[in-house]
Chain A
Amino acid sequence: MNPELGLFALILATCLALLQSIIPLLGSYNGRLNWMATGKTLASGQFVFVLLSFMCLVFAFVSDDFSVQYVASNSSSLLPVYYKVTAVWGGHEGSLLLWILTLTGWGQVVALRSNKLPPELSARVLSVMGMISVGFLLFILLTSNPFARILPFPPVQGSDLNPLLQDLGMIVHPPMLYMGYVGFAVAFAFAIAALLGGQLDSAWARWARPWTTVAWCFLTAGISLGSWWAYYELGWGGWWFWDPVENASLMPWLTGTALIHSLAVTEKRGLFKSWTLLLAITTFSLSLFGTFLVRSGVLTSVHAFANDPERGLFILGYLLVVVGASLTLFAFRAPEVRSKISFSLLSRETLLLLNNIILVTSCATVLLGTMFPLLLDSLDLGMISVGPPYFNLLFVPLSMLLAACLGIGILLNWKKGSLSWLKQQVRWILVVSVVGGIIFSFLYGDRFLVSEALAIGLVLWMVLTIGKDVRNKTRNIGLLKGMRKLKPAYYGMQLAHLGLAVTFIGVALTSGYSVQKDLRMNPGDTARVGEYVFRFDGVNQRQGPNYVSDFGTVKVFKDKQQIAVLNPEKRVYTVQGMPMTEAAIDSGLTRDLYVALGEPLGDDSWAVRLYVKPYIRFIWLGSIFMALGGLLAISDKRYRVRLKKKVALSGKKAALAGNPGPSLDSGKDATVTTGGQA
C-alpha cells in the first residue's frame, strides 16, 4: 500500500506542477491577480506531495520492503538504519526523487519569499519553476519509477547498498550538490521571467543575486564534500580526479561563479545585461547537462551507476526543450543595444569582465576535455582518452591568472582608475609576494619548485591585496571603527576570496610536497616517512554489521612520541561479496597521515601504503570559507529591506528620463512596467 501511496502522491504532484506552469503565467499576461496568486499555492501543494512521496520511499527502505524493486536492489536488512535512509538516494530512481524534492523545496521557498516581488514577476518565476519540475516528474514517472514492485514473488533479501556509498560523506554529498544544481534553477527562472516580461533593468539582477549566491554556496559545499569523500573513501589518496562526473559538477560551479560576479556588475552598474542573462541560462543548463552526463551513460565513469540510453534520450529531449527554448527566447528578447554606460579600461568592471572570461574559458576547457573523446569518436577521427595531464596543463595556469586578476580587481574602483594609482597601491605587495613565494619554496621541502613558488606568491598577493583594500576602505576613520562600518556583504566577499587563497595553499602544498611509500610490512616493522615513523602492528579479523574486516593497526611516532594509532581496514561486504579498502587517516590542520592496506602477502605480512599529505585540509577549509562568505554576503540587510524601495526608485527615475522601456500587457503595477534599458 505504502509504495502505491508514494506513486500516487508523485502523480498528483505532476498534475499540480502542470497547472503551476500554465495558470500563473497566463495570469501574468491577462492581469488577473488571482490567477497569478495560484502559483504560490500550487508550489506549496507540489512540495507537500513530493515530500510525502519521498517519505513513502524512506519508509519502504526502513521497513525493508523488498517487494519494491528499487529497495531490493539498493538495500538489505543487514544495513544499519541510517544507511537505509541514505540508501534512498543511493541509486538512480531515488536520487532523481531527491532532485525533485530539492527543486520543489526551492519552489516552496521562492513562493514564501515572493511577497516582496511584483506579482507578474513572481508568477512567471513560479511558472518557469513549474515547467522545470513537470519535465523531471515526467522523467521519473515514465522511465524511472522508484516504487515499481516485484510481485508476486518478492526477494527475501535485498542486494545491499553499494559499499562505496556506505559512508557519512555520502549521506550529505548528494543533497548538498542537488541544492546547488537545483538552486541555479531559481536564477534561471528569474532570467527567463525577466526575458518574458522584457524587464531587463538591473532590478532582476538584484532579485536573482541572493538566490544565486545561496545555490552557489551549496554547490561549493557539495563539490568539496565530494572531493573529501573521494579522498578518504576511494583510498587513492587523491582529492580530485577529473572524472566526468566531477567535471559535471565543476562546470556549473565555474559559470555560477562567473554569474555571481556579473550579476554584481549588472546590479550595481547596469552593464553586461545580455551576458548575465546568458550566464544564468548557461549555468542551469550545465546543471541539467550534469544530470544528463551522470544518468545517461554517455560517458563511463566511477560514479555513473545508471547507464541507460532510453533515459539518456529523455533527458536529451528535455535539455533540448528547456535550453533550446530559453536560448531562442534569449536570442529574440535580449537587449541588443550596447550600453551607454561607460567605464575606463582600468576599472573594476574590466577586471570582473576578465574574471568572467577566465572562468568561462576554464569551464569550456573542462567541457572540451570531458566531451573530447566523444567528439572525436562520433566524427570518426579515432580514439583518444583525455586524462589529468590535459586538465592540469590548462586549468592550473587559468586558476593562477584568475588569482592574479583577483588582487587587482579588489583594489580597483568602479568606473575608473589610474595606472599610477594602481602602481602605487600594489608596488610593495608585488615585491613581497614575489620574494615571499621564492623564499618559501627554498625553505620548504627538499628542493625548489617553480609552481609552488608561484602558487604561494599568488596566495600572498591575494591575502595582501584583500588586507590593503580593507585598509583603504577604513583609512578615513581608523581601522577598528571603519571595520565595524563595513557591510556584511563586503566581509562575505572578502571571506570567499580569502577562501580561494586558502584552497590555493592546500592544492599547492599537497601536490608539491606529499610523500608516499608502498611497502611490504611484517608485524613490528617500522618505516620512516618524512619526520614520522610508522609501526605496523599486524592485522586481525573483525565482524561488522554487514561486513567482515581485516583490521590493521599502525602506530605513528614523531620524535619517539606516539602521536596516532591508525586502523586501516580491508572489508568484504557479505551480501555483494565485494572487497573495499578503508583508509585510516590521522588528520591535522598542517598534515594528514594516511594509511591504506593493500593485500596480504603471506606469513602475516601485508602490502601497506603510507602517505604524508601536508596541508591537504586547507583545500576543503578554503571551500568552507567560500561557502560561508557567500552566506555572509546574502545576510546583508539590503537584500531584505530595500527591495521594494529600490524598484520604486528605479521606476521613477526611468519614468522621469522618459524611457519607459518595453511594457507589460497588463500594466497593473507601475513599479514593474517601467524598466528601461538605460
Chain B
Amino acid sequence: MKRWKLFLPLAFFLTFCVLLYIGLFMEDKNELPSMLLDKPVPEFSLKKLQQPAETVTEEALKGRILLLNVWGSWCPACKVEHPYLMKLAREGINIVGVNYKDERQGALEWLDRLEDPYLFNIVDKDGRLGLDLGVYGAPETFLIDKHGVIRYKHIGILDDRVWKKDLKPLYDALQKELVQ
C-alpha cells in the first residue's frame, strides 16, 4: 500500500465537511430567499388535483391571503405536518396545496384517508412549479398576500412554534392591511 492512500479518508472527510458547511448556510439562504421574496408567484398553468378538468394559473392565488403548502403523499414529514394544517384550516386560514412530484392516485388516497385542509390542490407532477418556487423538498410553505406576492417561505414542517413565531405575525399584519 502506498502511504498517500492513507490520506484518502481524510481528504474525503474534508470534502464532505465543506458540503455540510454549504448545507448549513443554504438553510439561511433558503429561509428568506431574496430572489423570490416579495416577488409574485411565478407564472404557471396546471391542473387541479380533485377537479382534473380545471386549470389553475397564478391568478387563482390572488385576492386573499393564503398559505401555499408543498406536499406529497410520498413524504413522511408531510404526514406529521398534516394535523397542524387541519388545525389551521379549521381556524379559517386559507391553504392551497401544491401536490409535488406525486402520483395522482396516492395523493387522492391521502386526502381521502386523512382530512383535506386545502381549498384546492395544484398538480405539479414534474416539479416545474416547485423548481420555479425554489422548492428544496416537501413540505414547504409559502405565505402569499392578496396580490399574489410571496411574503414568506418556510422550509420543513409547519408546526405551532413556527406558525406563532414566524408566520402568524406576518399573517396578522397582512390581515390588518386587508381590513383597512
Contacts and interface: CB of A to CB of B under 8 A. Distances in A.
Given A309-B27, A374-B19, A378-B26, A236 B9 contact: no
Contacts of A332: 6
B87 A330 contact: no
Interface stretch (B42-50, B53-61, B110-118): B110-118
A148 interface: no
Contact of B138 (A243, A328, A385): A385
A408 interface: no
Contacts of B172: none
A576 B21 contact: no
A309 B26 CA distance: 10
A241 B76 contact: yes
B178 interface: no
Given A313-B24, A330-B9, A578-B87, A383 B80 contact: no
Contacts of A164: 80
Contacts of B27: 297-298, 307, 309, 312
Contacts of A576: 160
A387 B74 contact: yes
B23 A378 contact: yes
Given A338-B1, A382-B131, A579-B83, A331 B9 contact: yes
B101 A385 contact: yes
B156 A300 contact: yes
B169 interface: no
A-side interface size class:
35 or more
Given A338-B1, A373-B137, A385-B101, A327 B10 contact: yes
Nearest to A518: B113
Nearest to B131: A383
Contacts of B115: 599
Given A327-B9, A336-B3, A578-B87, A375 B112 contact: no
A518 B109 contact: yes
A313 B21 CA distance: 8
B77 A300 contact: yes
B5 to A, nearest CB: 8
B104 to A, nearest CB: 16
Interface string B5-48: 01101100110010111111111100000000000000000000
B148 interface: no
A377 B26 contact: yes
Contacts of B137: 300, 373, 383, 385
B17 A319 contact: yes
Given A234-B79, A374-B19, A579-B86, A383 B10 contact: no
Contacts of A234: 76, 79-80
Contact of A598 (B2, B25, B114): B114
A375 B19 contact: yes
Name the residue in A236, A309, A328 with the highest tally of chain B Cβ atoms < 10 Å from its Cβ.
Answer: A309
A598 B83 CA distance: 12
A309 B112 contact: no
B19 A331 contact: no
A302 B76 contact: yes
B66 to A, nearest CB: 21
B89 interface: no
B136 A297 contact: no
B157 interface: yes
A322 to B, nearest CB: 11
A298 B14 CA distance: 17
A328 B10 contact: yes
Nearest to B109: A518
B167 to A, nearest CB: 15
A298 B20 contact: yes
Contacts of A297: 27, 156
B10 A331 contact: yes
Contacts of A599: 114-115
A565 interface: no
Contact of B10 (A243, A330, A336, A378): A330
Contact of A378 (B19, B83, B109, B160): B19
Given A382-B131, A385-B137, A578-B84, A309 B28 contact: yes
Contact of B17 (A274, A316, A373): A316
B130 interface: yes
A609 interface: yes
B150 to A, nearest CB: 17
B6 A274 contact: yes
Contacts of A387: 74
Contacts of B136: 373, 377, 383
Nearest to B12: A327
Interface string A142-174: 000000000000000001000010000000000
A334 interface: yes
B131 A316 contact: no
Contacts of A338: 1
A316 B77 CA distance: 24
A324 B12 CA distance: 10
Nearest to A329: B10
B93 interface: no
Interface in A603-638: 607, 609
Contacts of A76: none
A377 B30 CA distance: 11
B7 A324 contact: no
B155 interface: yes
B75 to A, nearest CB: 8
A644 to B, nearest CB: 32
B93 to A, nearest CB: 14
A313 B6 CA distance: 28
Interface string B72-109: 00111101100110110000000000000100000001
Name the residue in B24, B135, B139, B155 with the highest tally of chain A Cβ atoms < 10 Å from its Cβ.
Answer: B24
Interface in A195-222: none
B94 to A, nearest CB: 19
B113 A607 contact: yes
B14 A324 contact: yes
A296 to B, nearest CB: 7
A577 interface: yes
Nearest to A387: B74
Contacts of A598: 112-114
A278 interface: yes
A159 B109 CA distance: 33
Given A300-B156, A373-B136, A578-B84, A336 B24 contact: no
Nearest to B79: A236
B175 to A, nearest CB: 21
Contacts of A274: 1, 6
Interface string A289-302: 00010001110111
Interface of A: 159, 164, 234, 236, 241, 243, 274, 278, 281-282, 285, 292, 296-298, 300-302, 304, 307, 309, 312-313, 316, 319-320, 323-324, 327-328, 330-332, 334, 336-338, 371, 373-375, 377-378, 382-383, 385, 387-388, 518, 576-580, 598-599, 607, 609
9 contacts: A298-B27, A319-B20, A324-B17, A327-B10, A330-B6, A331-B9, A373-B136, A579-B86, A580-B83
Give the top 5 A-B pairs by smallest Cβ distance, nearest first.
A300-B156, A327-B10, A378-B22, A331-B7, A331-B6
Given A336-B1, A385-B138, 17 more contacts: A298-B23, A298-B27, A300-B137, A300-B157, A316-B17, A319-B17, A327-B13, A331-B6, A332-B6, A374-B23, A377-B136, A383-B127, A388-B74, A518-B113, A578-B83, A578-B160, A599-B114
